[in-house]
Amino acid sequence: MEDKILIGDKLPEIKAQTTKGVINLPEDYKGKWLVLFSHPADFTPVCTTEFVAFQKRYDKFRELNCELVGLSIDQVFSHIKWVQWIKDNLNTEIEFPVIADDTGKISEKLGFIHPGKGTNTVRAVLIIDPESTVRAILYYPQELGRNMDEILRMVKAFQVGAENQAAMPANWPENELIKDRVIVSPATDVKTAEERVKEYDCYDWWFCHKEVK
């Protein structure tokens, strides 16, 4: 199966029923970052840990002007009952909407169903920018829960990279070579290459870095 969505694509228009009412993607989230994620099924242990983990970090996402939207092929009644169970038993109120894709059409359109992993949605994550462009895609199998701190880091890194017109190193902001600094785009001509090593801290002309502004 070919992925329906690729990095750099625009999120397609989707009207969906959620636990918070009907939403229209991407229109309702224009001007905001969005993490759209799918989970295999309600009332399952790994998914429950993920929803609690997302909710515990929801304020941090919102500080980055980023919203969360969940999705699975369960009916909205199941979603409602499950989030109520989480509130009653785990003392965590799920504040973000959860799409009820009971026909599976939205999941198919977004590439969230992988035949080799059954008919349920895999643990997919789309990170979408304020212009509705897909900036990153992550897939996890059903048996492995996601690291929400990494997803949060990715959103922040995209924003810092854009603000500084720079690329972000591995493990930012705790990179083993340049710590919380960012990478200057490599020069594409001789003159700029010579200037870069004078203007920035560099390992070489093609690997220069600077402080975050």
Read off the pLDDT of residues 11-38 as tens digits, 9 standing for 90 and up: 999 999 999 999 999 999 999 999 999 9
* Domain co-membership, 181 together with 138: no
Q: Given this model, what pLDDT does residue 6 score?
A: 95
Residue-wise pLDDT for 65-99, tens only, equals 999 999 999 999 999 999 999 999 999 999 999 99
* Domain co-membership, 117 together with 42: yes
Which range marks the domain in which residue 70 is found?
Answer: 14-146
Q: Given this model, what pLDDT does residue 69 score?
A: 98
Q: Decide if pLDDT at 51 tops 60.
A: yes
Mean pLDDT in residue range 205-213? 96
Record the pTM.
0.94
- Residue 47 annotated as catalytic: yes
Lowest-pLDDT range, 60-64, 80-84, 119-123, 201-205? 119-123
Mean pLDDT in residue range 53-63? 98
Q: Decide if pLDDT at 58 tops 90.
A: yes
Question: Does residue 151 sit within a domain?
Answer: no
Pairwise pLDDT comparison (141 vs 57), residue with the higher score? 57
CATH of residue 125's domain is 3.40.30.10
* Domain co-membership, 137 together with 46: yes
CATH of residue 189's domain is 3.30.1020.10
Mean pLDDT in residue range 195-201? 95
Question: Does residue 157 sit within a domain?
Answer: no
Q: Decide if pLDDT at 118 tops 70.
A: no
Q: Given this model, what pLDDT does residue 4 score?
A: 75
Domain termination site, one of 96, 112, 146: 146
* Domain co-membership, 170 together with 78: no
* Domain co-membership, 102 together with 180: no
* Domain co-membership, 98 together with 188: no
Question: Does residue 39 sit within a domain?
Answer: yes
Question: Does residue 85 sit within a domain?
Answer: yes
Mean pLDDT in residue range 119-138? 94
CA distance 78 to 179: 45
Of the candidates 47, 66, 202, 208, the residue annotated as catalytic is 47
Q: Given this model, what pLDDT does residue 167 score?
A: 97
Q: Decide if pLDDT at 1 tops 50.
A: no
- State how many domains the chain has: 2
* Domain co-membership, 121 together with 169: no
Average pLDDT, the chain: 95
Mean pLDDT in residue range 143-158? 97
Question: Does residue 153 sit within a domain?
Answer: no
Q: Decide if pLDDT at 205 tops 80.
A: yes
